[in-house]
Amino acid sequence: MSISRLDSADRSRYARQLRLSGFGESAQAALLDSHVLVIGAGGLGAPILSYLAAVGIGTITVVDPDIVELSNLHRQVIHTEAAIGTRKIDSAQQRMKGINSSIEVRTIPRLLTPDNALDMLDGVDLVIDGSDNFATRYLANDACEILGIPLVWGTILGFDGQVAVFDTEHGATLRDLYPEVPAPGSVPDCSVAGVLGPLCGSIGSAMAMEAIKVLTGIGTPLYSSVAIHSSLDAGWERVPVSPIPGRTPITDLEQHRGDYEQHSFDLRSADDRAPEVGASPENTLGPATVSWPDLGDNLVIVDIRDDEEVASGMVPGAVHIPMDELLADPSRLPKAPSTLTTGPADTAALSEPAHSHGIALYCRSGIRSAKTAAQLRRQGLDVTSINGGYLAYLSQPASQRS
């Protein structure tokens, strides 16, 4: 990394930082020469991106396919009411450039996947994971291990949060802290458990500070340890984390692809059940999951997100039935196009739900739709879950969206 020379505008903008003992122009120049990639422009991403822009990270890449919703604003303070319905990366970029017009802000409206992660992360100096699901967290961790990039990691739930820095050159990784990937849906996310906005600020700001420490060499980064914060008693606890002896290094994402498939909940328990006596081949259920590019023309798409989620947009032509309402009354499932005679799909209710065919469910990320599909399939309903949900839909090029 070449070290830039600060000009007069830099010295004026960053004057309070330059006066810090042990920081000075060399640390500021290191920040200006750094390229940091941030996964997520949501609750954690909001303070992370704001402070990285303000502190003078020269190049910041933001990865997030999501759009701004009203329910985001209590914690995702980088966005405004005027941004509702727009991409989070665009809203964040506008705010960051408003804070510091001298930095470069790059945006990627895609989900991080095993197919693009290595290319997306290659060449950056540091990655900060502000995602909200285990699939992305383990994928980011493993990609960083392969590429030798330090990863600042954080998570929040309820009133508590955790922060760590993972780097195989200096110690432990996420797989040393949590060797087993939690089963999809086994740990509630913020949409279920809730979260207070200021906690996002506390953890996100701590993550931004860890990034600054790693990039400049000041202080002691949270290598081989995790800092646990309880907001209700304002306490911080630092717990050591040691590399697992003999752990096989991560060298290939393909070998661990199953760990990154949280968005496609495991439905084998529904598919592997023994067929009923007298069942005919025509009653055999179709695939439990499907990806957006592989959707057939005869599938009816059902959005099972809550009302406030769909207010900011949904897939064109999809039928909206909230998950709780659908599980309470599966007869609300629309008929597949092949069974319709007149009228649009969203007005045709099933008189015999057990004989429905060709229904594809989606939620925000694929977890709720997969769990819902599993329950409906156990009742004999031929429904499938769309991998990655609405976020995966938004990740597609506009020309490929239905």
- Annotated catalytic residues are 190, 363
Sheet holding 126-129: strands in order across? 104-108, 59-63, 35-39, 126-129, 151-157, 160-166, 225-230, 235-240
DSSP per residue, 314-343: --TTPEE--HHHHHH-GGGSBPPGGG--SS
CA distance 72 to 81: 10
Contact 80, 96 (CB under 8 A): no
CA distance 285 to 346: 22
DSSP per residue, 19-55: TSTTTHHHHHHHHHT-EEEEE-SSTTHHHHHHHHHHH
CA distance 286 to 114: 25
The total number of residues shown for the chain amounts to 402
CB neighbour list of residue 323: distance below 8 Å, 6 or more residues apart: 304, 305, 306, 363, 368, 369, 372
Report the phi/psi class of residue 255: left, alpha or beta, with left for phi > 0 and alpha for psi in -120 to 50. alpha
Q: How far, CA to CA in Å, does 319 sit from each of 94, 264, 338, 348, 377?
A: 33, 21, 16, 11, 19
Contact 78, 54 (CB under 8 A): no
SS3 186: coil
Give me the residue label for tokens 């039928």: 319
CA distance 155 to 175: 15
